[in-house]
Amino acid sequence: MVHDPSTVVRDGGDAWCFSTGHGVVVLRQDGKEWKFEGTVFPRGRTPAWHKEAVPENRGHLWAPDVIEIGGRWCVYYSVSSFGKNTSAIGMASRRKPGPGTEDDPWEDKGLIVSSGRGDKFNAIDPALVRDGRKLWMSFGSFWDGIMLIELDPKTGLRKDAGEKPIRLADAPEIEAPFIHMEGGWYYLFVNWGKCCRGADSTYEIRVGRSRKITGPYEDRAGNPMVGGGGTLVLGSEDRYIGPGHASIYQRGSRQWLVHHFYDGEDRGASKLRLVPLKWKDGWPVVGD
């Protein structure tokens, strides 16, 4: 079971991906197959601040992303409880992107951003992107939608905790942002619909673009994403139901859209999928 996959990264000859699960799931590909390697935090050994920030959380950590900063791999992840915006995004770092062990644990770097009942955003679903010398993190779900904050490119921590998050997109049901730079444009991928319902999930991947990372983002028809715009990239088709949590993996000149789906031929089990991605008239297109 793979849900909310991170960006796929390479270290040496292996590809690595992180996903939702107790302690953050670690996956490795040493050929064609993806294998479960362990978790970032061993069961029952999550940082103490998780309980302080989100008392209802039970160690099930959502929607991680990973990026290399200063020779260390940094994993960002969500601490939350379903349907509430009492949430936090944390970060841990390590020299190698494998599972945490007694001898080589992931080092807790603490809380990056949090939200509570009085906020109009939800601090989940982090996604990292470099823009020149700057480092940014998009995040968000429902409420007022998708947000963006700037991080310190040397530490990976929030640059200015007092700075208000920038709102990038909203819709009745929206989450799982990912920003990708291509051909002079910034592309904001998001999910619309409901997740986590197996074969009954209504997730679909949408996109808009902007000349600036901070927006405004518009879909192909010119509709602003702050206001419900978003061009369909990938929806349910055949056994591949509710595709979600997109990112882009690139090797050489080839690109793949990384996402999970609910398998209609396997009782709605969530699985990892990479499909070829190309660009046509300035917009992403999936398929061979």
Q: Is the peptide bond before 216 cis (omega within 30 degrees of 0)?
A: yes
Catalytic status, residue 265: no
Residues 6+ apart with CB under 8 A from 194: 173, 201, 202, 203, 242
Catalytic status, residue 11: no
- Measured CA to CA, the distance from residue 270 to residue 21 in angstroms comes to 12
Residue 156 in contact with residue 74, Cβ under 8 Å? yes
Residue 162: both structure tokens together: 């007092």
Choosing from 65, 175, 218, 219, the catalytic residue is 175
Backbone φ and ψ of 226, nearest 5°: -80, 100
Half-sphere exposure of residue 229: CA atoms within 13 angstroms, side-chain side: 18
CA distances to 114, 116, 132 from 87, rounded to whole Å, are 6, 7, 29
- Measured CA to CA, the distance from residue 46 to residue 61 in angstroms comes to 10
Choosing from 4, 125, 218, 219, the catalytic residue is 4
Residues 6+ apart with CB under 8 A from 219: 206, 207, 208, 225, 229, 230, 231
Task: Select from 135, 134, 209 the least CA-distant residue to 169.
Answer: 209
Backbone φ and ψ of 267, nearest 5°: 55, 30
Distance of CA 251 to the CA centre of its chain: 20
- Measured CA to CA, the distance from residue 158 to residue 155 in angstroms comes to 9
Residue 246: both structure tokens together: 């997109």
User: Which residues have a catalytic role annotated?
Assistant: 4, 175
